[in-house]
Structure 1
């Protein structure tokens, strides 16, 4: 399953290429509380079809009604973007479901060949980070490499929308737990690669049925990590319990900018893994400090599905830059419970 931005862009491009008038709506600015952050996208097609969202639903209904009232052909014929603001008054905030009097500013962009959606989608598939600049007067679009300083919003007479590559998850091991991780991660819009050279695991994976959107590779995990070169939008999780498969791949992953590197296992096995990586592979302590193990947040998980949920919650928190209390980790939480039991 594609991430939401890609789905919106692909739908908009499909409509545009079919000659159907369509509008791309972008959240440009927000004040106070707002359901969707700047950079959020929605595409509206002439018959009222919608992909994506810019609020909890009420603003979308009003936008569709406005476009229908004017006629989407007339909206697109203007050729230039329009800026709309919702929630300026308390009455609007109540009407459109904006919490705490929040305000949201939207840019409505008529789509055409000048919109450069095909180039943007191609760049995302190649894991390039681009910033899309929309001239609010002419509707012209410029694509350039994104920088860490780029933030979504209006700067002068331009709307800036940075697009990073889709978030990617490399899963080492093709067992039952891996399948639950992938099924859940698909719904979160992750790009998924499962790596396992073992014949029996590959057969077991195939028996479970195809998971569209998941790539299964039979190469050695460390070769897979080296080939894919994890970037800052990549997470790596080792799920095999087999040091021959996990250790080298983890060593390689820890040497990359991957935002998350983790491995399942007991607390004892996790400490033994760290010792092996330190003593046999000279992995420095600074890199080992990034290794999440036992992976996941402590939620009392018992089943593979619950463990998968625990792991993905930690991955998503890391992706979003959320610093969690050490007490949320599996190792610390279990140690605290044991201490209370023995007291």
Structure 2
């Protein structure tokens, strides 16, 4: 789930005390689609809405139909695209969308339903939502984290697993770390920066996006105490082995899907030797570390390096990983830029 979708639920919470609202969730997509399964939009009459389902292809139609009371059932599935709800409306992207539409009447019951979804996705890693068309949702259950929304449909019975936003934990502030954190927020990650050094906090904390959670704690201590879920990426970008090495030693014992540290090839090789020799890590643990971190896009500035790092993380998050990662830029090899 993207942070935007959590915002959708919170807006619905504000509206549902006094208005009918329609919670729309993308169930499945076929062909090209700018929004993945699990994407949400909340609508109420008179054209008020939050979120998106298609990047603009069907939102206008939905808003018009809401004012025409086209979705009276507690739940129904609407199809857009070929053979869909509006046969004369082709999606510009050429794809097909199936959307779950839930009508929520104003009052305490609907408010409790939205609040329960928000609480579950805040406290846990995922929630499984069950309903039988055309009835309201009858079950919300904790579920294991998944990096994509899973939909199971058996006739009128629908089970939808929604996961919380992916998380990025950054150990230590640096110019690259600031850009990584801010990019991550824009990409929908829950973003946490751990920094215990007063000088770094004074110089760089103000540069972080307001949505970055800053923890004034040694990164390795935070990871040891808090752990992480399987939708977490962990980075250490300080060039200080006292921080980076200890962060990596904790990270490799966690279920993170991506672990990375910055440095030249030579320094990265030395770090891996240290972790094996002094950190008592097994080769398979050390091999989990992406170092040097990032894709080869010829990065020369902190923002470009951060872009390459986040691109690699998104590549793994989305399951677009080749067997062998591309070699890093020569500038990274020389260690002159980072």
Q: Name the TM-score class by shorter chain.
A: 0.7 to 0.9
Q: How far is the alpha carbon of 1:329 from its aligned partner?
A: 4.0
Partner SS state of residue 144, structure 1: strand
Question: What is the aligned partner in structure 1 of residue 3 from structure 2?
Answer: 3
Count of matched residue pairs? 327
For 1:83 and 1:165, how far apart are their aligned partners in 2? 23
Q: 2:276 aligns with which of 275, 278, 291?
A: 278
Which has more helix, going by share of residues? 1
Question: What is the aligned partner in structure 2 of residue 258 from structure 1?
Answer: 256
Partner SS state of residue 272, structure 2: helix
For 1:201 and 1:256, how far apart are their aligned partners in 2? 26
Q: 1:118 aligns with which of 94, 115, 118?
A: 115
What whole-Å deviation, never above 9, does each CA across 1:198-253 have from its counterpart, x for those lacking one? 111011124x3563121222222210111220220111100111111111111111
Q: How far is the alpha carbon of 1:91 from its aligned partner?
A: 12
What whole-Å deviation, never above 9, does each CA across 1:5-50 have from its counterpart, x for those lacking one? 2112112222113x12210112223344444333222111222122
Matched, 1:128 2:121: no
Q: How far is the alpha carbon of 1:286 from its aligned partner?
A: 0.8
Question: What is the aligned partner in structure 1 of residue 167 from structure 2?
Answer: 168
Question: Aligned in 2, Cα 1:129/1:109: closer, same or farther, shift over 3 Å?
Answer: same
Matches within 5 A, 1:1-343: 3-17=3-17, 19-70=18-69, 75=71, 78-89=72-83, 95-100=89-94, 102-112=95-105, 113-115=108-110, 116-147=113-144, 151-206=150-205, 208-209=206-207, 211-324=209-322, 326-330=324-328, 334=330
Give the TM-score taking structure 1 as reference length.
Answer: 0.86
Deviating more after overlay: 189-198 vs 86-95: 86-95
Question: Aligned in 2, Cα 1:144/1:55: closer, same or farther, shift over 3 Å?
Answer: same
For 1:99 and 1:49, how far apart are their aligned partners in 2? 25
Partner SS state of residue 50, structure 1: strand
Partner SS state of residue 328, structure 1: coil
Q: How far is the alpha carbon of 1:262 from its aligned partner?
A: 0.2
For 2:198 and 2:125, how far apart are their aligned partners in 1? 34
For 1:98 and 1:89, how far apart are their aligned partners in 2? 15
Question: Does the aligned pair in 1 maintain the 2:82–2:90 contact within 8 Å?
Answer: no
For 1:91 and 1:220, how far apart are their aligned partners in 2? 54
Question: Aligned in 2, Cα 1:282/1:49: closer, same or farther, shift over 3 Å?
Answer: same
Q: How far is the alpha carbon of 1:165 from its aligned partner?
A: 2.5
Question: Aligned in 2, Cα 1:234/1:142: closer, same or farther, shift over 3 Å?
Answer: same
For 1:164 and 1:22, how far apart are their aligned partners in 2? 23
For 2:164 and 2:232, how far apart are their aligned partners in 1? 9
For 1:91 and 1:215, how far apart are their aligned partners in 2? 42
Question: Does the aligned pair in 1 maintain the 2:185–2:209 contact within 8 Å?
Answer: no
Partner SS state of residue 256, structure 2: coil
Question: Aligned in 2, Cα 1:21/1:91: closer, same or farther, shift over 3 Å?
Answer: closer
Partner SS state of residue 95, structure 1: coil
For 2:209 and 2:157, how far apart are their aligned partners in 1? 40
Question: Does the aligned pair in 2 maintain the 1:87–1:98 contact within 8 Å?
Answer: no
Name structure 1 gaps, 5 residues minimum: 339-343
Question: Does the aligned pair in 1 maintain the 2:126–2:145 contact within 8 Å?
Answer: no
